[in-house]
């Protein structure tokens, strides 16, 4: 199993059976980017369903079609998502995403890693 991977938008790393996805600083996410992000993530999963820690503090912007794609197709093989945010921008972005996209899996925002990992711990095997 590959432990680390990076593309133009994100880096992926496994830590304690949680896949950490960290968006690069200043990145803009459109539908093509969202498709690539999900494709790369699914490759790393190797068919396993996992909890995800998603650090979105680097995202500059994300369009509606990308949000919709991530909420539906982007939920494949995910048990739960803890989103790391930094007020006010990424926090508002995360709250808007959760409220309008209605992700099909448990999704919650956090300002620190410790609280996010406690949340994800509920979804570990």
What is the rounded CA–CA span in Å between residue 94 and residue 13? Answer: 21
Tell me whether residue 10 is exposed, middle or buried, using C-beta atoms within 10 angstroms of its C-beta: 0 to 12, 13 to 18, 19 or more: buried
pLDDT of 82-115, one tens digit each? 999 887 655 566 675 656 566 678 988 899 999 9
For residue 65, count other CB atoms closer than 10 A to its CB. Answer: 14
What is the rounded CA–CA span in Å between residue 112 and residue 116? Answer: 7
Q: Phi/psi at 10 (nearest 5 deg)?
A: -145, 165
pLDDT of 12-69, one tens digit each? 999 988 999 999 999 999 999 999 999 999 999 889 999 999 999 999 999 989 988 9
């Amino acid at each position: 199993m590959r432990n680390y991977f990076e593309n133009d938008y994100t880096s992926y790393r496994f830590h304690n059976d949680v896949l950490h996805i960290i968006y690069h600083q200043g990145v803009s996410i459109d539908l093509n980017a969202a498709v690539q992000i999900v494709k790369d993530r699914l490759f790393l999963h190797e068919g396993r369903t996992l909890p995800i820690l998603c650090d979105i503090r680097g995202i500059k912007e994300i369009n509606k079609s990308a949000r919709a794609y991530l909420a539906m197709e982007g939920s494949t093989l995910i048990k739960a998502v803890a989103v790391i945010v930094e007020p006010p921008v990424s926090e508002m972005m995360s709250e808007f995403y959760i409220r309008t996209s209605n992700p099909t899996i448990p999704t919650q925002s956090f300002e620190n890693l410790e609280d996010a990992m406690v949340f994800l711990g509920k979804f570990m095997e």
